[in-house]
Structure formats: structure tokens, C-alpha cells
Amino acid sequence: MGKGIYCLVLSGGGAYVRVGALGERFFPQGYYVYAGSALGPGGLPARVGRHINTAKSPGSKNHWHIDHLLHHPSFRLVAVYCAETEERLECRLARGLGGDEMVQFGCSDCECTSHLFFFPHYPGPEITLAFGNAGLAWTERTL
């Protein structure tokens, strides 16, 4: 697998979480989808692997906003959806997800209002539709 974009699916919430400079925020119980890119060295295996390892290592350092949720005991990483591409399509993917935006989360390097979205139900259909609308074939890995 090469470079691309991905969605992390987390379940949990019902908790306040301090997210770096964004401060403390309440995350309702449900599912959360984070849209990201893996266009740098190592591509999808390196970036997604880092997120999976972060979820398993609560004491490791927070680098991105999503790390705060991956480390929090109220959340669990349940699935990862990936698509190979060399194009910067993560913003298009994020805009196509639907769900309730967690404003300013995970989008400090773009003009999006969010890259994290809340769903009261498992968001598999919304994720696959967003990848399809971006013209990408995707794979899913449940954890």
C-alpha cells in the first residue's frame, strides 16, 4: 500500500477531553470519524500504523489533535478505511462525510471547518459513500 487518504473510526465518548490548544471539549457517546492524509514518507502503512500504535500506547506523546482521543480511555479505535492516491483529497473526503462537525478539530493546516465528525450510529455507509464520491476505491480494516 502506498500514499493516500484515510478515515479512522472511533467509538466512545460521553467525556470531556482536553485537545491541545482547542481546550477542553465534550464528546457525546457515539462514533467519530477522522479524515486524514498519508502523502509523506511511508505513506498509509506508516501513518495509519502510527495511529494504531498510538491507540495502544496511552502514555505516548500527543502530536495531532486525534492523538488526544486515541489516548483517552473513553475512546476505542474500531476501524480504518484507506484509499491510495497521490492527490490531496482528504479535505474533499472530510466534506463528504456528513455527521456533526467537531469544529476546528484536525484541520489546522487547511481551510476546512473540521476533519472530525460525530455520528450516533456506525458510519460505514457514510464513509464508503464519501470515498466513492471522491472517485476512490477503498479498503476497510476492523480492529
* pLDDT for the residue numbered 38: 94
By C-alpha distance, which of 134, 139, 50 is closest to 88? 134
d(CA 24, CA 116): 15
* pLDDT for the residue numbered 5: 97
The tens-digit pLDDT sequence of the chain (143 residues) is 899 999 999 999 999 999 988 889 999 999 999 999 999 999 999 999 999 988 988 777 888 889 999 999 999 999 999 999 999 999 999 999 999 999 888 787 788 899 999 999 999 999 999 999 999 999 999 98
d(CA 24, CA 108): 17
* pLDDT for the residue numbered 58: 74
d(CA 129, CA 99): 13
User: What pTM was estimated for this model as a whole?
Assistant: 0.94
Element (H, E) at 96: helix 90-96
Instruction: Report the amino acid identity of residue 130.
Output: A
* pLDDT for the residue numbered 1: 80
* pLDDT for the residue numbered 120: 97
